[in-house]
Amino acid sequence: MSSPKTLFEKVWDAHVVRPESSDTPAVLYIDLHLIHEVTSPQAFSELRQRGLKVRRPDRTLGTMDHSTPTTPRNALGIIPVIDPQAINQLDQLRKNCAEFGITLFELGSLNQGIVHVIGPEQGLTQPGMTIVCGDSHTSTHGAFGALAFGIGTSEVGHVLATQCLLQYQPKTCAVRVEGQLQAGVGAKDIILALIAKYGVGGGTGHVFEYMGSAIRALSMEERMTICNMSIEGGARAGMVAPDETTFAYVAGRPYAPQGAAFDAAVARWRRLPSDEGAQFDREMTLDANHLAPMITYGTNPAMGIPIDAPVPTLADMPDAPSRQALDAALAYMGFEPGRPLLGHPIDVVFLGSCTNSRISDLRTAAALMKDRKVAAGVRVLVVPGSQRVKRQAEEEGLDAIFTAAGAEWREAGCSACLGMNDDKVPPGKYAISSSNRNFVGRQGPGARTLLASPLTAAAAAVTGCVTDPRTMIK
Amino acid sequence: MEPITTINGKAVALPIENIDTDQVIPASYLKVTDKAGLAEGLFQAWRYLPDGSLNPDFALNRPEALGATILVAGRNFGCGSSREHAPWALQGYGFRAVVAPAFADIFRNNALKIGLLPVTIDEESYHELLSHIEEDPATMIEIDLPNQRLIMPGGRAVPFPIDGFARHCLVHGVDQLGFLQQQEDAIAAFESQHAVAVNTLQPN
Ligand code: SF4
């Protein structure tokens, strides 16, 4: 009998075209390559220069998300793109996809949306696959038990031309989250707490496999939130073993296998979970029972605290570099060490991004905001992750709840997550954001970002300040 | 790609941990469809004052740092996004190597692909290097890639790891896509026995 294997090892082994040797990395086959307008143009230029074709247009798919506006449609039902550079980027993607025969989810079409939202939504993301995209949050797709990770533009070119990547096998890390979450605490709080515990470089060189009772109890969308932010913990990818929750989610989606083919696929997918006794290189743990809603106070995602805790002081820091980092972060954020964040005024609330813009995130936020009003002076942007999420939300009347409260209901895209379009947080202003990065200037020059769950963001929208959402839910 | 063997150059230090790729190059510069103008956006928030003029206090802007080709930075350099624009911007500015106690995975990969050398050294040597640069802002160091060592100002050689394949490609100017293309037979053989349930050209 062969030795027990982890989920990661099973997926890796099934995609090795040529094994790693002492002189060369492994040649790894890629099942699905997602592309978008920002990280692909230079790769297509490279292909043209070398006179190469896209090897597998049938394994490649493009969408528009990063530089697209999310402003409401005009009278003709068109999302107007005004920024000339964005127009150019989108045109290039259209041209590249047309010339190389790649399916493109066009801006404003029902299929378009953030690349990590549309993959799972369309059933393109399936257990056991290898998935890459020129985007670090490709780790999201690992929620299905796929090996999914972000690559640079040179590598986008490699995959376009050969459907393969040169890779050294990463190490594995078991991330055990046991226990039961309290009401008002969710997947986003799990991942923020984990990163706060192990640091932004904690997972470097590793692929996380999330396991334990708290993970098993999560829906697919919640698992995606967790896998999404694996990269914020430094990991190359994050994975969750597929189970009945996974199969039920994939079933019936447009690109998923149907009928007998689906049953056969499920039979294969059932063999993917890590074997009993499989060895991991490392282990991390988190207790879900005592978790509070989390919020960040600083300028990297590991600078997070339970929402009712004070901001750390220099004395809490283990070494000089972390004291320096804390000092710089607090100066940028305008926070005092040792003081609580609760009650701190907020200017902008951003509900969106590939971390938290799916239908369940919008439902959670809407449930809290129903029959309540956005606090005076607060701008609330609600940006669905995809056009399908938008339509679903509208069918459920969620848009009406948001707009009645005084929030803006937008078109799908990355929006204020990275501030590439006009959706930005003004300099010096405070934003509670359901996104994944609070880096200096991430949401616009001088923007001060507090990362939190969609529920915590919704609570702040209503009160106008940092608020423990547990005090606002029935 | 130009072969790299030895890099002799002036070092400039940014002794900060977890410098993320949004700091290296902010998103507003990612709207290009080539690599033009990226060097201008390098470390934008630090390098420029709000009025757009150069910030005289920022390490790269000090007169002694002019012409530096080696960046020395804190642990976990390049964390965050996968944007290759980050190493492009560093290279466009004139850097040929980044020295740090640790790099984020994707940045390291991206840098190796374009011939911007990521040099990982131990913490102790890193701090020694920082004090050299503090004492003499025009500190020169040598990076000897074939022998995988960084020569400190005093002459001490500090070994650094790099995978043999990347080293081979950099030293000989071999391009990795070319290597992958040579695997065509193996790829075709793999594809013939590897079923994928997804066809992006048509929904099921
Ligand atoms: S939503 Fe944010 S993190 Fe996600 S793909 Fe878009 S820019 Fe990246």
Each residue of B170-199: pLDDT tens digit? 999 988 999 999 999 999 999 999 988 899
Q: How many angstroms separate the CA of residue A33 from the nearest CA in chain B? A: 10
Chain A: residue nearest B190 by CA?
A17
Among candidates A422, A427, A426, which has minimal Cα distance to A410? A422
Residue A456 per-residue DSSP state: H
Q: Are A300 and A332 in contact (CB under 8 A)?
A: no
- Report yes or no: B188 at the A interface, CB cutoff 8 Å: no
Distance B26 CA to ligand 1 centre (A): 14
- Structure tokens, B150: 């960084």
User: Which residue's C-alpha comes closest to atom 6 of ligand 1?
Assistant: A414
On whether the pTM is more than 0.90, the answer is yes
Give the DSSP H or E segment for A330: helix A320-333
- Which phi and psi (to 5°) does residue A191 adopt? -70, -35
Supply the pLDDT for residue B197.
Answer: 81
How many Å is the maximal CA-CA distance in chain B?
66
Q: Which residues contact B53 (CB under 8 A, 6 or more apart)?
A: none
Between CA A304 and CA A102, with CA A225 as vertex, the angle to 5 degrees is: 130
The answer to whether A227 is a known ligand-binding residue is no
Query: Residue A237: beta bridge partners?
Result: A207
Q: Terminus-to-terminus CA distance in chain A, angstroms?
A: 54
Supply the pLDDT for residue B196.
Answer: 85
The answer to whether A133 is a known ligand-binding residue is no
Q: Are A206 and A198 in contact (CB under 8 A)?
A: no
Distance B1 CA to ligand 1 centre (A): 31
The CA distance from A245 to A360, in Å, is: 15
- Structure tokens, A411: 């078109």
- Report yes or no: B163 at the A interface, CB cutoff 8 Å: yes
CB contact under 8 A, A321 and B17: yes
CB neighbours (10 Å) of residue A15?
22
Q: Which residues contact A468 (CB under 8 A, 6 or more apart)?
A: A184, A292, A293, A307, A308, A342, A456, A459
CB contact under 8 A, A234 and B176: no
In a 10 Å sphere around its CB, with 0-12 CB exposed, 13-18 middle and 19+ buried, how is residue B181 labelled?
middle
Q: What is the ipTM of this complex?
A: 0.96
The CA distance from A98 to A92, in Å, is: 10
Distance A410 CA to ligand 1 centre (A): 16
In the block, tokens 């020129």 appear at A134
Domains, chain A, ordered by start: 7-167 (3.30.499.10), 171-246+264-287 (3.40.1060.10), 294-471 (3.30.499.10)
User: Which residue's C-alpha comes closest to atom 4 of ligand 1?
Assistant: A354
pLDDT at B115 over 70: yes
| Contact A379 CB / ligand 1 (< 6 Å) | no
Q: Are A447 and A441 in contact (CB under 8 A)?
A: yes
Supply the pLDDT for residue B1.
Answer: 80
Q: Are A150 and A134 in contact (CB under 8 A)?
A: yes
| Contact A70 CB / ligand 1 (< 6 Å) | no
- Report yes or no: B80 at the A interface, CB cutoff 8 Å: yes
For A388, the 3-state DSSP assignment is helix
Name the B residues in 81-110 with CB < 8 Å from any A CB: 81-84, 87, 102, 104-106, 109-110
User: Which residue's C-alpha comes closest to atom 2 of ligand 1?
Assistant: A417
Cα A331 to Cα A298, A364, A414, A446, B125: the distances in Å are 9, 33, 28, 12, 30
Question: In B115-139, which positions are buried (b, 16+ CB within 10 angstroms) versus exposed (e)?
Answer: bbbbbbbeeebbebbbebbeeebeb
* Sheet-wide strand order for A32-35: A103-105, A60-63, A32-35, A130-133, A147-150
Instruction: Select from A124, A325, A445 the Cβ nearest to the Cβ of B18.
Output: A325
Q: What is the mean pLDDT of each run of 10 residues along chain A (474 residues)?
A: 91 98 96 98 97 98 97 94 96 98 97 98 98 98 98 98 98 98 98 98 96 98 98 97 98 97 97 98 98 98 98 95 95 98 98 98 98 98 98 98 98 95 95 98 96 98 98 88
| Contact A135 CB / ligand 1 (< 6 Å) | yes
Residue A414 per-residue DSSP state: -
Query: Residue A178: beta bridge partners?
Result: A287
- Structure tokens, A408: 């803006």
Supply the pLDDT for residue B125.
Answer: 97
CB contact under 8 A, A58 and B199: yes
Q: Are A73 and A108 in contact (CB under 8 A)?
A: yes
The answer to whether A417 is a known ligand-binding residue is yes
Chain A: residue nearest B75 by CA?
A201
H and E: helices and strands count for chain B: 9, 7
DSSP code per residue over A335-367: --TT-B-TT-B-SEEEE-TTTS-SHHHHHHHHH
Among candidates A7, A28, A1, which has minimal Cα distance to A16? A28
SS3 per residue for A291-327: CCCEEECCCCCCCEEECCCECCCHHHCCCHHHHHHHH
Chain B: residue nearest A442 by CA?
B22
- Report yes or no: B200 at the A interface, CB cutoff 8 Å: yes
Chain B: residue nearest A119 by CA?
B200
Distance A413 CA to ligand 1 centre (A): 8
Q: Which ligand 1 atom is at minimum distance from the Cα of A352?
A: 1
Q: State the helix-helix crossing angle for A359-369 and A387-395, rounded to 10 degrees.
A: 40
Q: Which ligand 1 atom is at minimum distance from the Cα of A65?
A: 6
- Which phi and psi (to 5°) does residue B59 adopt? -50, -45
